[in-house]
Amino acid sequence: MKAFQTIVNACATTVLLAGCASGLNRSKEEALNQKVGIVVHPVRDGVELRLQESALFDFDEASMRPESIAVLNRAAVLLKRSTRPIMVEGHTDNVGPFDYNQALSTARANAVGDALVARGVPAARIKTKGIAFLQPIATNDTPEGRALNRRVEILVKTETEETLLGQFKTK
């Protein structure tokens, strides 16, 4: 019986994903992401969703802002199109001591992970990790660079952009 249920679940997931991927309008999906400030791009191990701090948290806080609802709802929609493992990483700028930034980045990653679970993303797929300021994507020498470094990245391991956003339309 357990083997049968596993097969049924696998078939249902395959049908759901195939239906989602084939019916998605890539341009519309990208516009929805841009509207809420989510950047989606391929990375070596899968697909990354980048969420800026300003969309989720007040400066130096790990509690979610009320305005973060749209970003989190959109991220959950994208993540539920996949069955792959998810790593939620919190990042900070280099202002302040490492230990403080490590704790803040971990708390933010956990807050986003919890918010995604509350929106129907299976908790068993999600792992969280704080990175602090060890992986900057911009200079920490300017306010603009520091703002870019304060972010949460969601890596969907071994996934493709097409599953989350749909195929590119060829003309």
**pTM score, two decimals?**
0.83
d(CA 126, CA 27): 28
What pLDDT is attached to residue 7?
52
78 CA to centre of own chain: 8
pLDDT at residue 71 greater than cutoff 80: yes
For the segment 45-59, the average pLDDT, to the nearest whole number, is 89
Q: Which residues of 34-50 are buried (b: 16+ CB within 10 A; e: fewer)?
A: eebebebeeeeebbbbb
What pLDDT is attached to residue 67?
87
Residues 6+ apart with CB under 8 A from 126: 86, 87, 88, 113, 116, 117
More confident residue, 40 or 2: 40
pLDDT tens, residue by residue, 8-22: 454 444 444 444 445
Share of the chain above pLDDT 90, in %: 73
pLDDT at residue 127 greater than cutoff 80: yes
pLDDT tens, residue by residue, 132-142: 999 999 999 99
More confident residue, 6 or 82: 82
pLDDT at residue 89 greater than cutoff 80: yes
Handedness of CA 115, 120, 123, 127 (dihedral sign): negative
pLDDT at residue 1 greater than cutoff 80: no
Share of the chain above pLDDT 70, in %: 85
Which domains, ranges and CATH numbers included, belong to the chain? 26-165 (3.30.1330.60)
